[in-house]
């Protein structure tokens, strides 16, 4: 990085951003040329729902910052939002519970996200579409043919590999989930995994993993963008898609394929109960006086210190609440194999998980990173190490060292 | 000659479901098989784990009926641990359940089931003026009802149609003669379809206020609830009530009137008993009004052979599951406490059809006293009606009186859909009372949210039985060495989606299709309408194929 002459440095950065903006403008022009008009006019719907122009500008500002872009990109984010409906999306369901679809239908932060999702050009979505059976299959074939190389394949659900994949069969011809996944993913511009099941198998991959289930990336041998969580926040998906519309590339990912802009920080670092942790004020059992005062849930098994995500910042259901606010610890649902590595869920992790041996509450961060730093400072270190790794890995192929059940 | 029709995937449901039927030369369904095409093995995964973790794990059975497995598992543990949660926790759980009922039933009627009754394309030709008049005939103050609004909805739709990219509305059965609503009625319900997308978020927020998030709330623990800070905060309860009133208004001015509107035009089908199914109904009882579950909003019991004059008590020991036709080992009926879940997949026949005489689904066959039973809103209303329940009987009687229909209309696809709307009203009528009950209890100085407990050292077993939106739900847990040694869940869709048993008796979905006539065999609208009326919980679609060539396109209407 350039140091010393500040104005030189500033010029260089300015030029970089100018180039990036140019790239972004060209890419969006291309999109507008290549892809059909959005079915729905975003601004009309916004008006319909009582959102002013000002609300929209506020939202685009927040989204620009969330995507780690400087304010000059705001108009481009706005344009990308207007073009959101141009990107054809094929949404597949594999081994899952539809909770992610539900979360996307119902929750939002900020509110414009939800409306953005309404403009999405869903070419295939089993839970929502009117067509069934043969006609549904036809829709799928048409979408992947008409928009080959241009559509985003969103996958909700993991893939069972046992029985040659036959724990999950789909469609009139009884194709396995893996066959359908391969067919659709091979024609997609990008594959986005929504939720812990698609990311690394989630619950069905928990020990002893009876169906040999795993995430889509691993099962199909492809790189995927992983929107982790059970379920994840809708904002993490919309932001990632906006980035794609703007730059034609996916945002920087961490070593687990998660977008850094939304999974780069620890739950613990932005937790509203953090001050109680620092003051050693803990809930000792459910429903005790400290619980009603909102003290730290670490001793009740909260896995916030081990978990990367933005739940503590964006919360759920329009910011109404999130698990720690509701007095229950985090269960680490954005992390790989969390049902095994984070169990028992109501107790702090002991030595069996990370091998370091948790001695006192104060060294918890150290257990995670292996850095022997005591006290509060350790959290800063944990986050810093993490960021460093993220940057390092962002260009590397996604090494899915996720399925701990397999190790 | 019979023809085989396969519907896979059945869309607008949770999960992966295939329906196969055989129709005769008149396109009347003669036989049917329902097959769940996904196995996830969660019961196997639970073994050896801390029983207190089971709730959050089993919640991942389903994100549509989120919360319900969480609660049933916690109830099973509380039974095994020998404890009861304090009143605040019981009431809070009712409030979370209420939010689910209001959200889930509304979403089911409009987004999952509505398009089986409503022809979207026909709504385009409706006169907005007449639409307003019609809406006012079913509600004094219909939801979002004005000429300008109806016009706007039509314009939005026209744009969809013109662009040629109908998205989720594409390639459905529009124009099928089984759609019976006039254009104006189609427009009313369709406009509420769009309103409901927004309103369901409000219901989800109700759940999140006390549950931390939706789907998959995270505030229940064995012995109580963790969201005490929300429960004891007047502002938070106010947020809950405010949203509740919005939901209640939608139920009263959109959902109920729309169901009555649909009933007006589909009543002949109801009177004919289309989609009736097995004649037995079962309810475990739900929404406890006291800490011992003696008083319940939805009563516990069974009705056999549709004999409304002779409601019977529920005997838990008569509940069994068997796997004669399911892809699991073992054939003998087992009580869930001793149930096993060992897969034995045998696939489809060489034509790609289910092997109807052998094993053909991942769904087991639950039976009560060796008979198949329907569970869900209709079962709850039938059981309550037969028992002369003080809330349920008058509600059903007055609705029948308004529509001029006999009680027998209940035993149909239409009846099932109407029962769901009626019980939503029942829940809405009681929710505010529960908030007041909670406040009264807190006023007495009771701030308990948890009953102290630990995993029993000695072997223990327990069951959690309740009534979530889709019907009777039971979880059975066995604990040894302080970890789970066996876990079985018999979920509502297992009851309803059940395959045949060893006596050859069909399950409720299968039975409900027998005798139904399809207007067009390449558009099996009648099949999905009836299947959706159960609110299935697996994701699906309907495919039609010729049994000989196994090719979809070659199939022609006879």
Task: Let me know if the fold of A6-251 is the same as that of A267-393.
Answer: no
Nearest chain B Cα to A118, which residue?
Answer: B197
**Side-chain half-sphere CA neighbours of A264 within 13 A:** 19
B-chain CB neighbours of A203 within 8 Å are 40, 42, 45, 57, 60
Does A320 contact B7 at a Cβ distance shorter than 8 Å? no
| B306 is a catalytic site residue | no
Mean pLDDT of chain B: 89
- Bin B388: left if φ > 0, else alpha if -120 < ψ < 50, else beta: left
Residue A286 to residue B343, Cβ atoms within 8 A: no
Return the pLDDT at A314: 87
Determine whether domain A267-393 maps to CATH 4.10.480.10: yes
Residue B528 neighbours by CB distance under 10 Å: 28
The reply to whether residue B232 touches residue A292, judged by beta carbons under 8 angstroms, is yes
Decide if B65 is catalytic.
yes
pLDDT of residue A25: 92
Q: Is the peptide bond before A231 cis (omega within 30 degrees of 0)?
A: yes
The reply to whether residue B12 touches residue A137, judged by beta carbons under 8 angstroms, is no
Shortest CA gap B314–chain A (Å): 30
Q: Which residue is catalytic, options B12, B14, B475, B526?
A: B14
Q: What is the pLDDT of residues B396-415, one digit of tens each?
A: 999 999 999 999 999 999 99
Confidence (pTM): 0.86
Provide the chain A residues 16-45 that lie in CB contact (below 8 A) with chain B: 36-37, 39-40
Closest residue by Cα to residue B438 from B238, B205, B250: B238
* Residue of B62, B26, B182 whose CA lies nearest to B473: B62
A 10 A CB-CB count for A77 gives: 25
| ipTM value | 0.86
Distance CA A172, CA B462 (A): 41
Tell me which residues of chain B, numbers 456 to 485, contact chain A at a CB-CB cutoff of 8 Å: none
Give chain B positions within 8 Å (CB) of A136: 9, 11, 171, 541-542
* CA distance, residue A294 to nearest chain B CA (Å): 7
* Nearest-CB residue to A136 (from B53, B348, B541): B541
CA-based nearest residue in chain B for residue A338: B57
Q: Hey, what CATH class is A6-251 in? A: alpha beta
> What's the pLDDT at A140?
84
Whether residue B73 lies in the annotated active site = no
What pLDDT is recorded for position B112? 81
Per-residue exposure over B281-290, b if at least 16 CB sit within 10 Å of its own CB, e if not: bbbbbbbbbe
Count CA atoms closer than 13 A to A314's CA, side-chain side.
Answer: 25
Instruction: Report the C-alpha gap between B37 and B361 in whole angstroms.
Output: 7
Half-sphere CA count of A189, side-chain side, radius 13 A:
18
- Tell me the chain B residues in contact with residue A130 when contact means C-beta distances shorter than 8 Å: 11-12, 115, 120, 168-173
DSSP conformation letters of B405-473: --GGGGSSHHHHHHHHHHHHHHHHHHHHHHHHHHHHHHHTT----B------SS-EEEEEEE--TTS-E
Band (pLDDT 50/70/90 cuts) for residue A82 is confident
- pLDDT bin (cut points 50, 70, 90) of residue B543 is very low
Number of CB pairs, chain A paired with chain B, less than 8 A apart: 322
Residue B75 contacts residue B465 (beta carbons within 8 Å)? yes
Domain range annotation of chain A: 6-251, 267-393
Active site residue B145: no
The predicted-structure confidence for A306-353, as pLDDT tens digits, reads as follows 999 999 988 988 889 999 999 999 999 999 999 999 999 999 986 444
| Peptide bond just before B96 cis, omega within 30 deg | no
Least Cα distance to A234 among A77, A106, A49, A336 occurs for A106
In chain A, whose CA is at the least distance from the CA of B112? A128
Residue of higher predicted confidence among B96 and A36: B96
Window from A12-21, A272-281, B274-283, B541-550 with minimum mean pLDDT: B541-550
CB contact under 8 A, A172 and B200: no
Q: What is the DSSP string of A342-366?
A: T-STTS---HHHHSS---SGGGHHH
CB–CB of A211 and B552 under 8 A? no
CA-nearest residue to B240 within chain A is: A320
**pLDDT for the residue A136:** 74
Q: Does the beta carbon of B539 lie under 8 angstroms from any beta carbon of chain A?
A: yes
- Residue A69 has which token pair? 């872009």
Nearest CA in chain B to A108: B201
Res. A296: pLDDT tops 90: yes
Per the annotation, the verdict on B363 as an active-site residue is no
Q: Is A62 in CB contact (< 8 Å) with chain B?
A: no
How does residue A374 score in pLDDT terms, banded at 50, 70 and 90?
very low
Q: Strand A175-176 and strand A169-170: pairing?
A: antiparallel
Distance CA B145, CA B126 (A): 14
Q: Do A93 and B111 lie within an 8 Å CB cutoff?
A: no
pLDDT tier at A67, thresholds 50, 70, 90: confident
CA–CA dist A294, B192 (Å, integer): 40
Distance CA B410, CA B396 (A): 10
Residue A25 has a CB neighbour count (10 Å cut-off) of 13
Give the A window 147-186 contacts with B, CB below 8 Å: 160, 163, 166-174
Tell me the C-alpha to C-alpha distance, in Å, between residue B281 and each of B96, B112, B293, B301, B377: 26, 23, 21, 9, 10
Q: What is the pLDDT of residue B166?
A: 58
pLDDT in tens, B34-92: 887 666 667 788 999 999 999 999 888 777 778 999 999 999 999 999 999 999 999 99
Say if the Cβ atoms of A39 and B159 lie within 8 Å.
yes
Q: How far is CA A406 from CA A195, A214, A224, A400, B289, in A?
A: 20, 10, 20, 12, 47
Of all residues in chain B, the percent with pLDDT exceeding 90 is 66
């Amino acid at each position: 990085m350039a140091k010393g002459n500040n104005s030189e440095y500033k010029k260089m950065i300015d030029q970089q951003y100018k180039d990036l903006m140019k790239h972004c403008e060209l890419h969006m022009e291309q999109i507008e040329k290549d892809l059909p008009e959005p079915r729905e006019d975003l601004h009309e719907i916004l008006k319909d729902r009582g959102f002013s122009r000002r609300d929209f500008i506020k939202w685009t500002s927040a989204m620009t910052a969330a995507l780690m872009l400087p304010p000059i990109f705001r108009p481009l984010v706005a344009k990308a939002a207007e073009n959101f409906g141009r990107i054809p999306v094929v949404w597949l369901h594999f081994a899952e519970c539809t909770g992610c679809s539900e979360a996307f239908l119902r929750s939002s932060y900020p509110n414009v996200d939800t409306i953005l999702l309404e403009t999405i050009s869903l070419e295939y979505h089993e839970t929502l579409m009117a067509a069934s059976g043969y006609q549904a299959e036809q829709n799928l074939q048409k979408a992947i043919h008409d928009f080959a190389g241009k559509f985003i394949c969103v996958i909700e659900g993991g893939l069972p590999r046992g029985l040659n994949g036959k724990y999950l069969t789909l469609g009139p011809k009884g194709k396995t989930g893996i066959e359908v996944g391969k067919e659709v993913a091979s024609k997609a511009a990008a594959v986005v995994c929504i939720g812990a099941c698609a990311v690394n198998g989630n619950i069905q991959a928990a020990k002893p993993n009876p169906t040999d289930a795993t995430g889509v990336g691993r099962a199909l041998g492809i790189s995927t963008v992983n929107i982790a969580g059970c379920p994840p926040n809708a904002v993490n998906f919309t932001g990632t898609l906006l980035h794609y519309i703007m730059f034609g590339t996916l945002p920087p990912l961490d070593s687990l394929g998660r977008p850094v802009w939304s999974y780069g920080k620890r739950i613990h670092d932005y937790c509203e109960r953090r001050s109680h942790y620092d003051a050693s004020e803990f809930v000792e059992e459910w429903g005790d006086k400290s619980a009603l005062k909102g003290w730290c849930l670490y001793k009740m098994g909260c896995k916030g210190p081990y978990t990367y995500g933005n739940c503590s910042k964006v919360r759920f259901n329009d910011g109404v609440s999130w698990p720690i606010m509701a007095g229950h610890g985090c269960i680490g649902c954005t992390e790989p194999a969390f049902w095994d590595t984070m169990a028992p869920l109501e107790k702090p992790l002991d030595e069996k998980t990370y091998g370091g041996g948790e001695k006192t509450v104060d060294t918890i961060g150290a257990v995670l990173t292996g850095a022997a730093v005591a006290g509060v400072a350790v959290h800063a270190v944990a986050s810093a190490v993490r960021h460093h790794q993220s940057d390092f890995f962002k260009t590397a192929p996604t090494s899915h060292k996720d399925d701990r059940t397999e190790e | 000659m019979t023809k085989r029709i396969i519907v896979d995937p059945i869309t607008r449901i949770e999960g992966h479901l295939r329906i196969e039927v055989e129709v005769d030369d008149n396109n009347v369904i003669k036989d049917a098989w329902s097959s769940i095409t996904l196995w996830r093995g969660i019961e196997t995964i639970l073994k050896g784990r801390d029983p207190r973790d089971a709730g959050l794990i089993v919640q991942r059975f389903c994100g549509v009926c989120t919360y319900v497995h969480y609660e049933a598992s916690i109830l099973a543990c509380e039974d095994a641990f020998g404890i009861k949660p304090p009143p605040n926790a019981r009431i809070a759980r009712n409030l979370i359940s209420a939010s689910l009922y209001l959200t889930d039933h509304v979403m089911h009627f409009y987004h999952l089931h509505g398009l089986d009754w409503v022809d979207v394309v026909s709504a385009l030709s409706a006169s907005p003026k007449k639409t307003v008049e019609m809406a006012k005939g079913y509600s004094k103050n219909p939801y979002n009802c004005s000429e300008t609004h109806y016009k706007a909805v039509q314009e939005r739709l026209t744009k969809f149609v013109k662009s040629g990219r109908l998205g989720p509305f594409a390639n459905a059965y529009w124009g099928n003669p089984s759609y019976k609503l006039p254009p104006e009625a189609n427009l009313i319900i369709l406009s509420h379809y769009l309103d409901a997308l927004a309103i369901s978020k409000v219901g989800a927020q109700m759940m999140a206020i006390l549950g931390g998030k939706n789907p998959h709330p995270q505030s229940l623990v064995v012995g109580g609830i963790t969201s005490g800070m929300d429960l004891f905060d007047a502002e938070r309860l106010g947020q809950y009530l405010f949203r509740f009133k919005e939901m209640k208004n939608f139920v009263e001015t959109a959902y109920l009137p729309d169901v009555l509107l649909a009933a007006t035009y589909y009543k002949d089908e109801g009177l004919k008993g289309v989609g009736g199914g097995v004649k037995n109904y079962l309810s475990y009882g739900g929404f406890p009004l006291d800490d011992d579950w003696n008083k319940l909003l939805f009563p516990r019991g069974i009705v056999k052979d549709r004999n409304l004059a002779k409601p019977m008590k529920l005997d838990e020991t008569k509940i069994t599951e068997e796997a004669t036709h399911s892809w699991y080992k073992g054939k003998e009926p087992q009580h869930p406490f001793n149930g096993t879940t060992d897969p034995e997949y045998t696939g489809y026949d060489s034509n790609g059809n289910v092997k109807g005489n052998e094993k053909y689904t991942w769904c087991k066959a639950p039976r009560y006293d060796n008979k198949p039973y329907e569970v869900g809103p209709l079962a709850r209303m039938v059981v309550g009606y037969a028992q002369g329940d003080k809330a349920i009987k008058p509600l059903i009687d007055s609705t029948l009186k308004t529509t001029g229909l006999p009680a027998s209309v209940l035993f149909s696809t239409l009846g099932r859909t109407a029962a769901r709307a009626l019980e939503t009203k029942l829940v809405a009528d009681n929710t505010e009372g529960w908030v007041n009950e909670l406040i009264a209890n807190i006023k007495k100085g009771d701030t308990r949210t948890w009953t102290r407990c630990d995993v029993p050292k000695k072997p223990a077993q327990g069951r959690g039985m309740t009534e979530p939106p889709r019907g009777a739900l039971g979880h059975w847990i066995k604990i040894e060495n302080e970890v789970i040694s066996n876990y079985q869940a018999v979920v509502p869709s297992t009851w309803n989606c059940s395959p045949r048993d060893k006596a050859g008796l069909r399950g409720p979905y299968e039975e409900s299709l027998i005798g139904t006539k399809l207007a067009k065999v390449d558009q099996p609208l009648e099949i999905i309408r009836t299947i959706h009326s159960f609110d299935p919980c697996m994701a699906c679609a309907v495919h039609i194929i010729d049994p000989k060539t196994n090719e979809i396109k070659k199939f022609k209407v006879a």
